[in-house]
Chains A and B, each alone.
Chain A
């Protein structure tokens, strides 16, 4: 399908927010190395990687209306694809490509199975969850040295240690140091954000949202929802793959726990906390939750799980629509120009419609 922007005078306002976000991102990108040391950078690098992961979930769920309980399957596939690729090739550039392509291919197969099989939403949740657990079990049981792909032992529960770090494309000896990795991760986050903003502005993106709003109507207008959902799902998988690749690079290590229920649930929480139906929300959510977790671990008064549990529950009861809409709301109140107002409402109502 040809991607063309539909007439949307309102978009300018949307772009305003997007541009602000990108600029903010760039400031962080270049500012961070000045204000923090190696460890700080490693820390924010993993935050950025997880934020990309959250972005993917936020896209397919908040805009595509696909509730995937197993997004971590794609994170994991991306991570493993990178690790295996990097250990078999001298130049990691190819491995990065694998990290994106493998999840997308897998998603295409799974998505076809689900969407063309007319499987209802709740059950799409179950199937994705189940598939993730299957992957976890399989990878988890590859400990024997018989399990290896080329030079890369799968390592079962132990995972794959000392994965080669990213290198400058075409120059295998020039490997990225923590700072380089940070630029890479944060850069990728910004690019993914821009990419998704653009996709949503295209005709394709509008139809995706339309289908979420009313599948029957979209169908009666001649659009095939199955196809659009499939494409959305595949895009999400590719972005999750990028996240997985960066996640692996961050620790130079990957293990089956990336396929865990934890990871999938974690990303759902990011999106809900950040705000469903926004792109900035999942990013904020990911960083906020990760930061909260750090705090929880840092204090010794109350068990971190207990603390986090209480926070989550309080959150559902008090801020159900997520932080991003709330922030936008207050922005709206501060500067009452309609141009800012409408997108905010749009996103709130999208959030609510879930």
Chain B
């Protein structure tokens, strides 16, 4: 059997006494799409940070194609072919859209290739019109797109998206869903999200977090049908 693209083995993260993530195991194959859901504070974002190297777990290991990346510097993980979009938009406000995406495309690539990728990506995300605008001057939604664009421009094999739909209009959410399906044709994704509708739109396999543990892991419909998930969710979402 082949080495999984991404694997987390008994990952545990404690802050002081509190265990934000507890003994989580997760396996992701090539070109797979996986959604991590769960109410706020379920530990999915902490887990995400562990995957991206922003946090070093108290216990357990994270493997990318069998290589241990536990707590490696984010730039190291990125170079292995992992693209990351964080929850709060992380963009280069002082640069133009084109420059920003260029920075992403430019690493270790020929000039022509980089230029080509930039143009393609802007095409794909319909950013060409605002290519020379300062990112800082764009609307929130647009900046989300710019960030996604720069993640894609890296041409990673695995893309980690933390709440990509956050703060987007309904249309934008739809577009994002399409985009994710589009991307998933070639690349694997892990999407952290708590918006059920969105999950429905893109969902294949879903992993549900609760209180730092994995509640269940199954096909989207099965998960959404699961009563346990329902009361966790509704219970939490009530307030």
A and B touch in their complex, CB below 8 angstroms:
yes
In the complex the two chains form, what is the Cα distance from A213 to B91 in whole Å?
8
B111 contacts A206, CB within 8 Å?
no
In the complex the two chains form, what is the Cα distance from A350 to B93 in whole Å?
9
In the complex the two chains form, what is the Cα distance from A343 to B90 in whole Å?
22
A216 contacts B111, CB within 8 Å?
no
Query: Which chain B residues border A7 with CB–CB below 8 Å?
Result: 98, 102, 111, 114-115, 118
Query: Which chain A residues border B104 with CB–CB below 8 Å?
Result: 221
Q: Of all chain A residues, which has the CB nearest B54?
A: A216
B86 contacts A221, CB within 8 Å?
no
A220 contacts B86, CB within 8 Å?
yes
Query: Which chain A residues border B5 with CB–CB below 8 Å?
Result: none
In the complex the two chains form, what is the Cα distance from A213 to B93 in whole Å?
6
Given contacts A6-B102, A207-B103, A222-B107, contact A349 B94 (CB under 8 A): yes
Query: Which chain A residues border B96 with CB–CB below 8 Å?
Result: 10, 342
A224: interface (CB < 8 Å): yes
In the complex the two chains form, what is the Cα distance from A277 to B73 in whole Å?
29
Interface residue stretch chosen among B24-32, B74-82, B206-214, B216-224: B74-82
In the complex the two chains form, what is the Cα distance from A60 to B115 in whole Å?
28
A6 contacts B73, CB within 8 Å?
no
Binary contact track A200-222/B, C-beta < 8 Å → 1, others 0: 00010011011011101111111
B106: interface (CB < 8 Å): yes
Q: Of all chain B residues, which has the CB nearest A349?
A: B94
Binary contact track A335-350/B, C-beta < 8 Å → 1, others 0: 0000000100110011
Within 8 A of A (CB), among B103-125: 103-104, 106-107, 111, 114-115, 118
A9: interface (CB < 8 Å): yes
Query: Which residue of A8, A224, A349 is within 8 Å of B134 (Cβ)?
Result: A349
In the complex the two chains form, what is the Cα distance from A220 to B74 in whole Å?
6
A148: interface (CB < 8 Å): no
Query: Which chain A residues border B90 with CB–CB below 8 Å?
Result: 214, 216-217, 220
A214 contacts B91, CB within 8 Å?
yes
A223 contacts B94, CB within 8 Å?
no
A114 to chain B, nearest CB (A): 17
B166: interface (CB < 8 Å): no
Query: Which chain B residues border A203 with CB–CB below 8 Å?
Result: 106
Q: Of all chain A residues, which has the CB nearest B112?
A: A7
B92 contacts A210, CB within 8 Å?
yes
B95 contacts A221, CB within 8 Å?
no
B103 contacts A210, CB within 8 Å?
yes
Chain B CB within 10 Å — which of A214, A216, A219, A220 has the most? A220
Query: Which residue of A4, A5, A224, A346 is within 8 Å of B75 (Cβ)?
Result: A224
Query: Which chain A residues border B98 with CB–CB below 8 Å?
Result: 7-8
Within 8 A of A (CB), among B62-82: 73-75, 78-79
B100: interface (CB < 8 Å): yes
Given contacts A203-B106, A209-B95, A224-B73, contact A216 B78 (CB under 8 A): no
Query: Which chain A residues border B22 with CB–CB below 8 Å?
Result: none
Query: Which residue of B52, B73, B94, B132 is within 8 Å of A9 (Cβ)?
Result: B132
Query: Which chain B residues border A224 with CB–CB below 8 Å?
Result: 73, 75
Given contacts A210-B92, A214-B92, A216-B86, contact A221 B115 (CB under 8 A): no
Q: Of all chain A residues, which has the CB nearest B135?
A: A213
In the complex the two chains form, what is the Cα distance from A225 to B91 in whole Å?
15
B99: interface (CB < 8 Å): yes
Query: Which chain A residues border B91 with CB–CB below 8 Å?
Result: 214, 217
In the complex the two chains form, what is the Cα distance from A346 to B107 in whole Å?
23
Query: Which chain A residues border B83 with CB–CB below 8 Å?
Result: 220
Query: Which residue of B84, B94, B114, B132 is within 8 Å of A220 (Cβ)?
Result: B84
A353: interface (CB < 8 Å): yes
Within 8 A of A (CB), among B136-162: 136, 147, 150-151, 154
Given contacts A219-B74, A222-B78, contact A5 B103 (CB under 8 A): no
Query: Which chain B residues border A5 with CB–CB below 8 Å?
Result: 111
Query: Which residue of B92, B106, B132 is within 8 Å of A217 (Cβ)?
Result: B92
Given contacts A8-B99, A217-B150, A222-B154, contact A353 B93 (CB under 8 A): yes
Query: Which chain A residues border B100 with CB–CB below 8 Å?
Result: 210
In the complex the two chains form, what is the Cα distance from A216 to B86 in whole Å?
10
Given contacts A7-B118, A220-B78, contact A206 B93 (CB under 8 A): no
In the complex the two chains form, what is the Cα distance from A197 to B204 in whole Å?
50
A334 to chain B, nearest CB (A): 22
A226 to chain B, nearest CB (A): 9
In the complex the two chains form, what is the Cα distance from A203 to B104 in whole Å?
11
Query: Which chain A residues border B151 with CB–CB below 8 Å?
Result: 220
A206 contacts B99, CB within 8 Å?
yes
A219 contacts B73, CB within 8 Å?
yes
In the complex the two chains form, what is the Cα distance from A342 to B96 in whole Å?
10
Query: Which chain B residues border A346 with CB–CB below 8 Å?
Result: 94, 134
Q: Of all chain A residues, which has the CB nearest B90?
A: A217
Q: List 16 A-B contacts (CB under 8 A).
A: A5-B111, A6-B106, A7-B118, A210-B100, A213-B94, A216-B86, A217-B147, A218-B75, A218-B103, A220-B75, A220-B83, A220-B86, A220-B90, A222-B79, A224-B75, A349-B136
Which 4 pairs from chain A and chain B are nearest by CB?
A222-B78, A213-B92, A217-B90, A222-B79
Given contacts A210-B92, A214-B93, A221-B104, 11 further A-B contacts (CB under 8 A): A5-B111, A6-B102, A7-B102, A10-B96, A210-B95, A217-B92, A217-B150, A220-B52, A222-B107, A224-B75, A349-B93
